[in-house]
């Protein structure tokens, strides 16, 4: 057993030993150098309040659902210990995050080791545990991204097992239900993973049929072609004046083009085996679909005034995006693969719909049924079907002001392929490509143009790379469930940016980072197959992987020692200086408003922090913010103080609605001023 799993055992020992070292370091390291994001402390304080019987609340007054449920469930028992020591839960949480990190790495090791070779899996695992990018963006924040990455990797691994099993045995309903349950846990770990889970369901239900490959690709292509057409015609930020029209057109495109594609036989193996046949059918299907979508869009009253050239652009992109995967299928299909007899699409639907419905109900009934129950609980217990934090960020995105960042101004962010900032998702590929492009010009416009060319060039190179070993490329892409994870990633980013979403963060991009590791490993795996006949190549690959891990691990260990130091802080250094300041200048029992305040809310003693931006507040407070009556609402709650930049409170989204209740004091901290709250003060 030990011989078989020696790599996993060593990896666990090394990673967890480093984590224990960090977890036992000075207490101040956790608040000042490790868990530094407000968003994490929103979880911590709500979890503490739930464990102490106060309910799902940050401030002890307002009920909130501004979090992802599975991570909150894990945080509750951990932060029940906060009643004894505020730092103890943080020490435990660091170990939990490290355990999730190494567990995810082991799943990647097993998956890629079976698809390619153990050395390739080791390379991926070592990168995952020793990459500072992965650590900082997914684990060090103390957020849900750690458990989300684990369940994405687990679902991918189970999809691999399903793939191997269904080709050799009959699949039972119980097996599909178990995948649906893992899908539900994946959604609960981060709700926006619903796109990946949904496409994984199509991958399962339509196994052994071309629908499994083309339906996820076509759904993604139909949506992306509409948004790309609008962006090219309008550019950002002008696109957002027509975002509702674009979303309407994308919905129509999905409802019309997908069924037409099916009934034109473009999911039929016999048709796909004939290049001329499917090209003609694709042109006819796209022409009919684009014409029908265009006619309906012209008839929609709310779409008046949108650029008509978008319809033509969408037609061209649909041809390209629907055609290219079919071309790849034609070129990459096995030589000995025999095309089926020509089947009438309607007859096939009548023949198979019951089996598809049965499997679909087994998977989607569990995954999305549990999601529906959770949403219903949200509505009954909190007052909103979905987390209020997401609703508020979408509301912020509708403002022309950019206090909280506003909707994206970058087309690279829009499609999730940026090479910098919080839209950086497919690291290390996109940032490496972007850094390379930046060498050619210092002007932003030229860099963006060159980067588009570089992205297209990289895609073409990857496509050509597949032909180095067609058979292995084909089976590897299938066994890695590459289509669901890539298409799910694209749909997730379109979900955020198509209608405008403010303050999106780097830890949102879970499937993209795992997808990047799969892509990196795919390249290594294919290259390894080309030299597989060289003597001792597998041992050589292991040596290279372990050396890679050693040097990354040395850098990682040095970074941990530098961050989580021992005997750096004296005992009188406060965990949060601002919390100490407020304790000295407010009365015990005070309710203090913050436009953020997550970390202060956790560390402050004998006082409560009320979150004024609404991310971890109630749906009722959000309604008051929208209606301009939040000032009166907070006064009714007995708010005593506000610590904020008065200039920010005058701007959107607050628009001065608290001003009549504020009396300034002489207390300042970091650009913020302590203000007494209440009309009688």
* Same domain, yes or no: 237 and 127: no
Buried b (16+ CB within 10 A) or exposed e, 197-228: bbbbbbbbbbeebbbbbbbbbbbbbbbbbbbb
Taken in order 61, 63, 65, 69, is the CA torsion positive or negative? Answer: positive
* Same domain, yes or no: 225 and 145: no
Show which of 343, 373, 402 is a domain's final residue: 343
DSSP state of 675: E
- What separation in angstroms does the CA of 73 have from each of 140, 150, 285, 424, 490? 19, 16, 48, 29, 29
Distance between CA atoms of residues 421 and 426, nearest Å? 12
* Same domain, yes or no: 541 and 624: no
584 by DSSP, 3-state: which?
helix
Buried b (16+ CB within 10 A) or exposed e, 341-359: eebebeebeeeeeeeeeeb
Domain count, the chain: 3
* Same domain, yes or no: 147 and 14: yes
Count the neighbouring beta carbons within 10 Å of the beta carbon of residue 488: 25
pLDDT digits (tens, 9 = 90+) for 205-234: 999 899 999 999 999 999 999 999 999 999
Q: In which residue are the tokens 């209740």 written?
A: 661
pLDDT digits (tens, 9 = 90+) for 280-328: 999 999 999 999 999 999 988 877 788 999 999 999 999 999 999 999 9
* Same domain, yes or no: 333 and 223: yes
pLDDT digits (tens, 9 = 90+) for 468-510: 999 999 999 999 999 999 999 999 999 999 999 998 889 999 9
Tokens of 22: 């960090």
What pLDDT is attached to residue 107? 98
Q: What count of residues does the chain have?
A: 681
- pTM of structure: 0.95
Tokens of 177: 């239900």
What pLDDT is attached to residue 571? 85
What pLDDT is attached to residue 2? 59
Give the helix ranges, DSSP H, for 300-410: 309-332, 345-381, 388-396
Distance between CA atoms of residues 429 and 517, nearest Å? 9
* Same domain, yes or no: 121 and 13: yes
pLDDT digits (tens, 9 = 90+) for 534-569: 889 999 999 999 999 999 999 999 999 999 999 999
Domain annotation covers residue 672: yes
* Same domain, yes or no: 139 and 271: no
Which strand ranges, in their side-by-side order, compose the sheet holding 662-669?
A: 608-611, 591-594, 641-644, 672-677, 662-669
What pLDDT is attached to residue 25? 97
What pLDDT is attached to residue 533? 86
Q: At what angle do helices 470-479 and 88-115 cross, to 10 degrees?
A: 150
Distance between CA atoms of residues 340 and 338, nearest Å? 6
* Same domain, yes or no: 587 and 552: no
What lies within 8 Å, CB to CB, of 458 at 6+ separation is: 429, 433
Q: In which residue are the tokens 């009643």 written?
A: 83
Main-chain phi, psi angles of 35, to 5 degrees: -85, 90
Distance between CA atoms of residues 342 and 278, nearest Å? 13
Domain annotation covers residue 644: yes
pLDDT digits (tens, 9 = 90+) for 49-75: 999 999 999 999 999 999 999 999 999
What pLDDT is attached to residue 547? 97
- State the chain's mean pLDDT as an integer: 93
Domain annotation covers residue 492: no
What lies within 8 Å, CB to CB, of 527 at 6+ separation is: 468
What lies within 8 Å, CB to CB, of 573 at 6+ separation is: 28
Domain annotation covers residue 288: yes
- What separation in angstroms does the CA of 511 have from each of 69, 117, 146, 223? 19, 22, 12, 19
Domain annotation covers residue 483: no
Domain annotation covers residue 179: no
Q: CA geometry: angle at 270 spanning 474 and 356, to 5°?
A: 75
What percent of the chain has pLDDT above 90? 83
β pairing state of 641-644 and 662-669:
unpaired
What pLDDT is attached to residue 680? 60
* Same domain, yes or no: 552 and 582: no
What pLDDT is attached to residue 1? 55
Q: Nearest CA to 511 among 479, 477, 487, 495?
A: 487
pLDDT digits (tens, 9 = 90+) for 259-282: 999 999 999 988 998 899 999 999
Distance between CA atoms of residues 56 and 36, nearest Å? 22
Task: Compute CA 93 distance to the chain's CA centroid, rounded to the nearest angstrom.
Answer: 21
What percent of the chain has pLDDT above 70? 98
* Same domain, yes or no: 146 and 6: yes
* Same domain, yes or no: 546 and 633: no
What pLDDT is attached to residue 572? 87
- Residues 114/165, Cβ–Cβ less than 8 Å: no
Show which of 295, 325, 343 is a domain's final residue: 343
Distance between CA atoms of residues 112 and 640, nearest Å? 57
Show which of 326, 343, 360 is a domain's final residue: 343
* Same domain, yes or no: 218 and 286: yes
Binned at pLDDT 50, 70 and 90, residue 168 comes out as confident
What lies within 8 Å, CB to CB, of 353 at 6+ separation is: none
What pLDDT is attached to residue 287? 97
Domain annotation covers residue 45: no
Give the helix ranges, DSSP H, for 397-505: 411-414, 429-438, 444-465, 470-479, 482-497
pLDDT digits (tens, 9 = 90+) for 605-614: 999 999 999 9
Lowest mean pLDDT among 369-383, 399-413, 586-600: 399-413
Domain annotation covers residue 372: no
Binned at pLDDT 50, 70 and 90, residue 338 comes out as low
Q: Nearest CA to 516 among 583, 633, 443, 417?
A: 417
Range of the domain at 247: 206-343
């Amino acid at each position: 057993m030990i011989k078989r799993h020696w790599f996993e055992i060593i990896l666990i020992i090394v990673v967890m030993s480093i984590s224990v070292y960090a977890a036992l370091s000075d207490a101040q390291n956790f608040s000042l150098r490790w868990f530094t994001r407000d968003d994490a402390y929103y979880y911590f304080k709500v979890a503490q309040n739930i464990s102490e019987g106060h309910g799902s609340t940050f401030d002890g007054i307002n009920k909130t659902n501004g979090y992802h449920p599975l991570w909150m469930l894990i945080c509750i028992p951990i932060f029940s210990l906060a009643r004894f020591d505020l730092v103890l839960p943080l020490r435990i949480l660091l170990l939990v995050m490290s355990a999730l990190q190494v567990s995810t790495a082991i799943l990647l090791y097993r998956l890629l080791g079976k698809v390619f070779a153990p050395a390739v899996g080791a390379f991926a695992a070592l990168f995952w545990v020793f990459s500072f990018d992965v650590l900082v963006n997914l684990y060090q924040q103390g957020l849900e991204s750690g458990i989300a990455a684990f369940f994405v990797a687990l679902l991918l691994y189970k999809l691999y097992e399903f793939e191997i099993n269904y080709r050799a045995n009959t699949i039972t309903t119980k097996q599909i239900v178990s995948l649906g349950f893992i899908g539900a846990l994946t959604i609960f770990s981060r709700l926006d993973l619903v796109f990946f889970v949904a496409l994984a369901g199509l991958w399962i239900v339509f196994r052994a049929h071309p629908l499994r490959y083309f339906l996820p690709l076509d759904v993604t292509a139909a949506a992306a072609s509409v948004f790309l057409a609008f962006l090219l015609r309008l550019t950002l930020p002008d696109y957002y004046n027509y975002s509702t029209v674009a979303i309407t057109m994308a919905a129509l495109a999905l409802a019309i083009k997908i069924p037409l594609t099916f009934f034109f036989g473009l999911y039929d193996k016999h048709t796909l085996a004939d290049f001329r046949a499917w090209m003609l059918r694709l042109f006819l299907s796209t022409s009919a679909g684009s014409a029908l979508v265009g006619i309906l869009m012209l008839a929609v009253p709310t779409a008046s005034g949108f650029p008509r050239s978008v319809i033509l652009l969408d037609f061209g992109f649909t041809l390209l995006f629907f055609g290219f995967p079919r071309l790849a299928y034609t070129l990459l299909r096995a030589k000995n693969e025999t095309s089926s007899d020509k089947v009438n699409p309607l007859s096939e639907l009548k023949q198979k719909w019951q089996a598809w419905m049965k499997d679909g109900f087994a998977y989607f009934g569990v995954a999305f049924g549990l999601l529906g129950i959770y949403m219903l609980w949200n509505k009954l217990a909190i007052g909103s079907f979905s987390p209020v934090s997401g609703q508020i960020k979408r509301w912020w995105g509708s403002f022309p002001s950019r206090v909280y960042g506003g909707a994206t101004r970058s087309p690279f962010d829009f499609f999730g392929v940026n090479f910098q900032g919080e839209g950086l998702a497919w690291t290390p590929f996109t940032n490496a490509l972007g850094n390379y492009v930046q060498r050619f010009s210092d002007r932003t416009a030229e860099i963006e143009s060159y980067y588009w060319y570089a992205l297209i060039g990289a895609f073409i190179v990857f496509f050509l790379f597949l032909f180095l070993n067609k058979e292995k490329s084909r089976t590897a892409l299938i066994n890695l469930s590459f289509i669901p994870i890539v298409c799910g990633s694209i749909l997730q980013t379109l979900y955020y940016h198509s209608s405008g979403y403010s303050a999106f963060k780097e830890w949102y991009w879970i499937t993209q980072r795992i997808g990047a590791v799969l892509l990196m490993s795919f390249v290594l795996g294919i290259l390894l197959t080309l030299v597989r006949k060289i003597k001792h190549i597998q041992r050589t690959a292991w040596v290279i992987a372990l050396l890679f891990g050693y040097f990354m691990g040395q850098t990682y260990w040095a970074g941990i020692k530098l961050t989580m130091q021992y005997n750096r802080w004296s005992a009188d250094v406060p965990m949060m200086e601002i919390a100490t300041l407020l304790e000295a200048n407010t009365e015990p029992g005070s309710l203090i408003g913050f436009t953020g305040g997550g970390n202060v809310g956790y560390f402050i003693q004998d006082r409560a922090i009320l979150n004024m931006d609404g991310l971890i507040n109630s749906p009722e407070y959000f309604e008051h913010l929208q209606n301009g009556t939040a000032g009166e609402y907070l006064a009714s709650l007995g708010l005593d103080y506000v610590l904020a930049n008065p200039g920010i409170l005058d701007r959107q989204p607050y628009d001065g609605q608290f001003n009549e209740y504020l009396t300034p004091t002489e207390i300042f901290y970091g650009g913020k001023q302590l203000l007494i709250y209440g009309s009688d003060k």
